[in-house]
Chain A
Amino acid sequence: MRITRVMSAALACAALAVAGCGGDDKETEGVKKVEPGTSKQAKGNVTWCIGKDTTGTFSKAVKEFSSKGQVKAKLIELPADAGEQRTQLVQRLRAKSSECDVLGMDVIWTAEFAAQSWLQDVSDVVAQRKDDWIPSTLETAKYEDKYWALPYNTNAGFVYYRTDQVQAPPDNWEAVYSEAEKGDGIVYQGARYEGLTVNFLELLYSAGGKVLSDDGKTVEIDSPEAVEVLKFMADGIEQGAAPKAVTTYMEEESQRAFLSGKATFMRNWPYVYSLGKDSKIADDFDITTFPKFGGGEGAGVLGGYDVAISAYSKNPEGAAAFAEFLTSPDWQRTIMTEASLPSTLTKTYDDPAVQKAFPFAVKLRTAVEQAQPRPVTPVYPQVSEAIFKNVHAALQGEMAPDAATKKMKGDIDKALQTF
């Protein structure tokens, strides 16, 4: 029996490894507020924690900022995957670590992080230059009528289409799908993950539907619009407007299918544009902002990153100075021309250098302006899961659109009741 005991101990360890990371956070202090102007006298060191520096601009920002003033900035690179970045930040914040002063946050984390009192209130900093930002981007930094972050870079999807197959881009989704059915189809992000939530919401917002009420307390997804959109998407796959394969596609697979000439339309982020200009269809595609659906207006869903100041920062003045630098007109132009990250400031898009790097700059600003944030709630991950799981089931034909919509409502209701 000795073997049994040793074995079971080892097993126990292994089986529970996944559970080892829970923490009991006992933190209920008041929210800290950043006063504007204090950043002028800031000194000392600050650390910026954000995802992997794939474009080199994060480290460049740190270097340039440090060379200019009294504050020295340092970069900590988190993993490339947004979910992993969140895990890493949550672990640090739970432990009240002061390691990160400035946090690079995916726009969907604001409500959750703010609700946990992990961020400092930057409403006064925002108020000083509120008109600089594209209004929709500021919505991603807002929770319970206060601003918790400064929008750093934004993002909004486009419809890519083949100019050699489609005369002019259709102005409504129904026409996009019927053209797609005649041509080589439309590809989008239909795998069971966050991306599908975004793809579904773009259609839902365009149709005039909503997920939550404005106060975020009641679920309004069980609308005729939602059923209609879901039926539209499911029929699209069944009737061949979209290949069945889209139910496994994320951004990259869609991009590969479109750029290799296998699809007439694609829904994707702006980053594909420059890749497309190096592909074999370089001269045969263009982009357009989202078309209308039913009686609604074209609408997208906002992506991007905001920069926030950690509640545990030991140098909030320095952190504010760095966050202001990151969102300054100069630096915003740099990220757009050098890293192809869409700026959150309205004026950046009028800059000739930016327009040279982004021939579609004005279209991009329009796409951002008409885009809406994803549901703002501290339980966003659960809400999103409820959406992409049930939408996926409907796309697979496992559930009828109206049943899937009801299930979505039930699941989101449950999520909102989370303790």
Chain B
Amino acid sequence: MATKLLELKGVSMAFGGLKCVDDLDLHVDEGEIVSAIGPNGAGKTTLFNLVTGVYEPTAGEILFEGESIKGLSPHRITQRGIARTFQTLRLFLNMSVRENVMAAAYGHTKAGVLRSILRTPGMRREEREIRELAEKRLAFFGDRLMGYRWDQPAYSLSYANRRRLEIARATATNPRLLLLDEPAAGMNPKETQEITELISQLRDEGGYTILVIEHDMHVVEGISDRVIALDHGVKIAEGTFEEVATNPRVVEAYLGTGAMERK
């Protein structure tokens, strides 16, 4: 059995009386691509916010590489090796494309204020490495984010390229686990196809384990080793894409009660 990279044990998250995530057990194995699906408000993004430390769960335990990361501040969790993208894009819009990616290398670099002012050889070397890392991460996207685009501000990018840049930025933190929040949202069929291939590539060539939230079932079908369906903060199904897609509870969650009978 593969090792569990991420594991959630009985995690609950409540805002006042509203339970967004309720007693959730979930795990992602090393090298896996897992998709989380579910209707709007099912608690998928809350799940990401819990794993990345934006929220602290009201109950339960979150383990990464076997160690608890519950209660750590988000930047520490990122430094441990979990990086994410955002459903509503959150790029550093007024910084250049390259700088967006370089900024994300903060967690695994060291040069402090004094070394930056004195421009010590170590600091210069580190700066060069960050630059090379950023260019390598951007080159992952082929000619989509190449060359002349590197020095342009992020706001000048098209919507699809912004999504790509978010992924490039997340990978610059050198993560082991990559959380992708609706990577294909708002993309046209061709771009969706590209993203599907890209996610598999990220695992195979980049070596990242991936947990992805996605609404586009073609993408989910194309990439997932395993699918987890959520509804009202509860896991209602888990298994291969076929198993989950035909699960009556999943169909009910998406289409309402009686849908199966009418069908």
State yes or no: do A and B come from one complex.
Answer: no
